[in-house]
């Protein structure tokens, strides 16, 4: 994931498909596309039986890890040009390498 974030900062194209494990429900699939200073995030929650919607799409100007190991996007625009200041995506266990 750090490689993706580094390529984003270098304004290089990259793509990550993330499917974090959950203890209950199904899966939420994250498509992350870095391209020329923007990160496009597509969250597909149709496979999660407890989800009430089909997902979310954001276009963001920043991506980083927070101090807890969570991937966070910032300065985002959502559907219908709704501004989203930050959105937490998924976490990594900081004790695992």
Domain containing 29: what range? Answer: 2-91
* pLDDT 10s digits, 12-44: 999 999 988 766 667 788 999 999 899 999 988
What is the model's pLDDT at position 68? 84
Query: Is residue 43 situated within a structural domain?
Result: yes
* Total domains in the fold of the chain: 1
What are the beta bridge partners of residue 65?
Answer: 71
> Under DSSP, is residue 79 helix (H, G, I), strand (E, B) or coil?
helix
What is the model's pLDDT at position 83? 93
* pLDDT 10s digits, 56-94: 899 999 999 988 888 999 999 988 888 999 999 988 765
Query: Is residue 96 situated within a structural domain?
Result: no
Query: Is residue 44 situated within a structural domain?
Result: yes
Residue 96 pLDDT more than 60?
A: no
Residue 53 or residue 10, greater confidence: 10
Query: Is residue 85 situated within a structural domain?
Result: yes
Question: At residue 87, what are phi and psi to the nearest 5 degrees?
Answer: -145, 125
Query: Is residue 64 situated within a structural domain?
Result: yes
Contact assessment for residue 61 and residue 37, using Cβ atoms and an 8 Å cutoff: yes
Q: How far apart are CA 77 and CA 58, in angstroms?
A: 6
Query: Is residue 97 situated within a structural domain?
Result: no
């Amino acid at each position: 994931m750090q490689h993706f974030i580094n390529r984003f900062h270098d304004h290089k194209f990259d793509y990550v498909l993330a499917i974090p494990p959950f203890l209950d429900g199904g899966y939420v699939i994250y498509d992350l596309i870095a391209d020329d200073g923007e990160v496009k995030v597509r969250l597909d929650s149709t496979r999660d039986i407890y989800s009430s919607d089909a997902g979310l799409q954001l276009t963001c100007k920043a991506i980083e890890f927070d101090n807890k190991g969570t991937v966070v996007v910032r300065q985002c625009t959502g559907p219908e040009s709704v501004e989203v200041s930050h959105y937490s995506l998924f976490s990594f266990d900081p004790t695992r390498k």
